[in-house]
Amino acid sequence: MVVTGLRAAALTFLVAASLGVAGCANLFGPKPPQVAAVAPGLTPREQEIADRKEHILQQLATCESGSWGPSERPIYGSRGAYHGRFQFTLRTFITYTSRRDGTQLTTKEAAEYVQNYDKAASLAWYMIYDLQESWHWPRCSRKLGIPAQVNLIKQL
């Protein structure tokens, strides 16, 4: 009978302790619900502007090298002086990458990156839209009217 009394006392103590702990959890008020962080989407206007900018880059790449998008083999122009879809010189690619984000590329890295359409398009985007320097592609910029297209996009 004493053993049963100890068990009952222990059980009562454990129940009381657990209720006390549960009560402490609510001492500071209910915990706010966890919400996943979701990046806001682009508005229709912002999406239209981004699409127009991307279209201009595709036109430029097509004008410079004959096509846009990834290529299975390296693209060279003017006896190897220009590289990739956007026909960058390695020096230009290195200089503007450093100016954009401080990344110091070697010539070998630049030769690899300039052949990657996405990396080259990102740098061309920076040069055309952020710096307003479409003059790096004189023939195609003039042919496509890139400065005028950029001005129209600014007005949106």
Answer whether residue 31 is part of any domain.
Answer: no
The residue range of the domain holding 57 is: 44-155
Q: Could you give the number of structural domains in the chain?
A: 1
Answer whether residue 22 is part of any domain.
Answer: no
Answer whether residue 112 is part of any domain.
Answer: yes
Answer whether residue 26 is part of any domain.
Answer: no
Answer whether residue 8 is part of any domain.
Answer: no
Q: Note the pTM of the prediction, 2 decimals.
A: 0.72
Answer whether residue 104 is part of any domain.
Answer: yes
The Cα–Cα gap between 10 and 7 comes to 5
Answer whether residue 77 is part of any domain.
Answer: yes
pLDDT of residue 35: 46
Instruction: Please state, for a pLDDT cut of 70, what percent of the chain lies above it.
Output: 74
pLDDT of residue 30: 55
Mean pLDDT over 106-115 rounds to 97
| Per-residue tokens: 36 | 């996943």
Answer whether residue 99 is part of any domain.
Answer: yes
Alpha carbon distances (Å) from 151 to 14, 17, 74, 130: 74, 71, 33, 12
